[in-house]
Structure 1
Amino acid sequence: MSTVVEKSNKSGNSDIEMLDPTVYFAFNHKIFSVEGAYFRLTHDTKEPCLYVSLGEMKGAIPTKSLAREFGIEDDSSDASLLRTVGGALKFVKEIRPNDSIPRELLDGSASWSIEDAHKGIAQGRITMQLISWLSGNEEIVINKKELEEIANDPSTKETIQEAFREIAAKLEIKRDDVVAKIDEVIRELAYIEALRDYYNGIKKISTSLSRLAAIYKRDRGTSEDLNRMQILIEPVIQKFDRSFTEIDAQTCEVMVILKNFEATIGTIRRTRDNLHQRFMIWREMVDRWSGMIMEEGPEIERLQKDTYQFLARNFMQSQTWRLGNT
């Protein structure tokens, strides 16, 4: 069943639009039409809930209870969409009725955008791998300056064309097929490069905490808090580093990528989704630390306090034993 949505057009009249529940969160039950209703994970248990206003208060109804509480049939499109909500909230922080379903769940592509610069980095990286493969000494380069120099080298284009011809001959496929597959790998790796760029914001927070520890070394209480924050963020940094190292290692050989093309694309996408989900909780914190001046003062101390609470709330459980030894 499709949901009817009424929208105003430029002339001020209303247009009727039918939303497909296989593409949109097009609910039919009236509970989903309550003004301001939205789905979100709870802060503590990370359970998907429908949030609705109840007078001056806001209530949270777990999605697993909605069908039972409001008589939604198990074989209805509403029930199917409710089962989709939990998975969708891995890719977006909030879902409102009639929002589109994240593309990750529809066709595996990313539902978030990246900058042209990230595409350029991915293209430069694959270009370097093609050139080094042709020379018999394949390597991976992620340094932006090096990649730009390679891309701007007049001889690069001719070398790449030669690599395409040789790869096509070795794999016994058409040159155009090699080009198409390489282009798709570049598109997918561009999201990894975007995430690598975003990750720099988290690393800057870690670096800032180290700098503040030196600034506040004579303030015992603040110094101890900063030490605990550094302990909490350290494994986060290590885990991100491992993820990028692993995906780089799995995509560092052109022939292996092309021989295992579908599997490689799947691996890149799974890594992309995993990294993106882990970054989502950091977005606000990274924005707050961006451009912050590292000096004593009430503003930086408020941010330190909020950061401690953020780290303790999200990463304390696996670190309790370490904190006990500090």
Structure 2
Amino acid sequence: MERSTHFEFKHRIFAIPGAHFRRSDTGEGVVYSIPCEGVDAVVPVAALMREFGIASDSPDSAMIDTAVRGLDYVRRIHPGDSIPKELLDGTASWTVEERHEYIARWRLQVQLASWVSGDEQVVTDADMLEQIAEDPQTNDKLEKAMKRLGWEVAPSESEAFGVAIVKERVESLVRELTYIEALRDRFKSMKTIQDKLERFAKLFANSRVVGEEVARVRSLFTNPHGEVRSQFDDVDAQTSEIRSLVLNYDNSIPFIRERRDRLHGLSMDWEEMMLLWDAADPTPDEIGIRLIRKTYQFLGRRYAPKVEWTIGALR
């Protein structure tokens, strides 16, 4: 049976124009949103299946499960939409800019050239990467690196055969790491938020109420900011040895994709907030206070410590 590439449903509830799956605004899972006289009727997935008689072993149920997983990669899913490529073949369903591909390519070229010289370097600064990659000596070292790795990949084959395999693998790694570089670029906004929060702290230093609100936001922001940094540190560490990346190619690609998807999920969650802070000019006025409070609400729903009450604690 041919695998479906689109969200195709049988039940008539999925034929309503504008209806779609999305994550609940309250963080309570996936819902089916149905336009109804100017407002959206929101139905949790479990209630949708129960109320409309969708059997758990039906094709519609399987497609709903796919939609739930698909929301890790896109914000909304309408019946008839294409299934995200992440679920079909592991590739990304979102686009990147050409400059991110350049950075990924330069990075691997620098790693190859420095590895064959006996001192492998991992450089992430775009300007420095470009400078090193365009050095004429780098091309000579690249050829040597390709030949040496080609022999390790296919020791019983011709040099040309081994080099061709290495080049193919490097091109695939460039494609995958391009998405990491795009995400690295996008998450620069987290540093912007941190810096502007520091400015707000100084601006409201003499306001007890707002000053405490800024302090709470800064405290809550520590965890997600640290999580993002940790994800990039991990992927950089795991991709820092070009020889291992090429020789263990079948494991390298899934690892990069897993980190790509995790970071992309975080970027979707943070996109609106990052755009707000990118455009914000910290000022000690009502506009600044509204931004602080909106950010606190956002962080509180996602990162505030959860308190679990027990019967004993209530006595």
Change in 2 beyond 3 A, CA 1:21/1:298: farther
**Offset at residue 193 of structure 1 (A):** 0.9
- Cα distance, 1:317 vs structure 2: 2.5
1:110 aligned to 89, 92, 103, which one?
A: 92
- In structure 1, C-alpha distance between the alignment counterparts of 2:22 and 2:62, rounded to whole Å: 17
TM-score, length basis structure 2: 0.90
TM-score by length of 1: 0.88
Larger mean Cα displacement after TM superposition, 294-303 or 277-286: 294-303
Letter in 2 for 1:137: D
Aligned to 1:209: 197
In the alignment, structure 1 residue 69 sits paired with structure 2 residue 51: yes
Aligned residues, how many? Answer: 302
Q: 1:184 to 1:318 in 2, by over 3 A?
A: farther
- Aligned partner of 1:199 in structure 2 is 187
1:95 and 2:83 equivalent? no
- Asked if the contact 2:117–2:141 (Cα under 8 Å) also holds between the matched residues in 1, the reply is no
- RMSD over aligned Cα atoms: 1.9
Deviation, 1:91, is 0.9
Give deviations 1:232-251, integer Å, cap 9, x for gaps. 00111111111111111111
1:21: Cα distance to partner? 7.5
Aligned to 1:13: none
Deviation at 1:28, TM superposition (A): 2.4
1:46-94 superposed Cα distances (whole Å, 9 cap, x missing partner) = 3111111333542222223333322334444322211111101111111
Distance (Å, rounded) in 2 between the aligned partners of 1:149 and 1:159: 15
What is the rounded CA distance, in whole Å, between the counterparts of 2:283 and 2:135 in structure 1? 44
Secondary structure in 2 matching 1:72: coil
Check conservation: 1:39, 1:49, Cα contact below 8 A: yes
Q: Given that residues 125 and 142 in structure 1 are in contact (C-alpha distance below 8 angstroms), is that contact kept between their aligned partners in structure 2?
A: yes
Runs of 4+ off more than 6 Å? none
One of 8, 13, 23 as aligned partner of 1:41: 23
1:286 and 1:137 map into 2 onto residues whose CA distance is 38
Aligned with 1:256 (options 241, 244, 262): 244
- Measured in 2, the distance between the counterparts of 1:169 and 1:37 equals 56
Q: Any stretches of 5+ residues in structure 1 without a counterpart?
A: 2-19, 321-326
- Aligned with 2:283: secondary structure? coil
SS at match of 2:136: coil
Identity %: 35
Deviation at 1:43, TM superposition (A): 2.0
CA contact (8 A) 1:202 1:282 kept: no
Shift of 1:315: 1.0
Distance 2:183 2:27 in 1: 26
Aligned partner of 2:247: which letter?
Answer: K
Q: Distance in 2 between matches of 1:76 and 1:38?
A: 19
**What's the counterpart of residue 135 of structure 1?**
117
SS at match of 1:282: helix
Aligned counterparts of 2:39 and 2:151: Cα–Cα separation in 1: 68
Distance 1:69 1:318 in 2: 32
Q: Are 1:314 and 2:302 counterparts? A: yes
Question: What are the superposed Cα offsets for residues 189-236 of structure 1, whole Å, 9 maximum, x if unpaired?
Answer: 111111111111122111110111011111111111111111000111
- For residues 257-277 of structure 1, give each alpha carbon's deviation from its aligned partner in whole angstroms, at most 9, with x where no partner exists: 122111111110000111111
Aligned counterpart, 2:159: none
Question: In 2, distance between residues paired with 1:266 and 1:188?
Answer: 10
Match of 1:223 in 2: 211
Q: 1:31 aligns with which of 8, 13, 24?
A: 13
Distance change (3 Å), C-alpha of 1:313 and 1:266: same
Q: Which has the higher contact order (CA 8 A, sep 6+)?
A: 2
Structure 2 equivalent of residue 157 of structure 1: 139
Whether the 8 Å contact between 2:100 and 2:179 is mirrored in structure 1 is yes
Once the 2 structures are TM-superposed, how far is the Cα of residue 318 of structure 1 from its aligned partner?
Answer: 5.5
In the other structure, the counterpart of 1:10 is: none
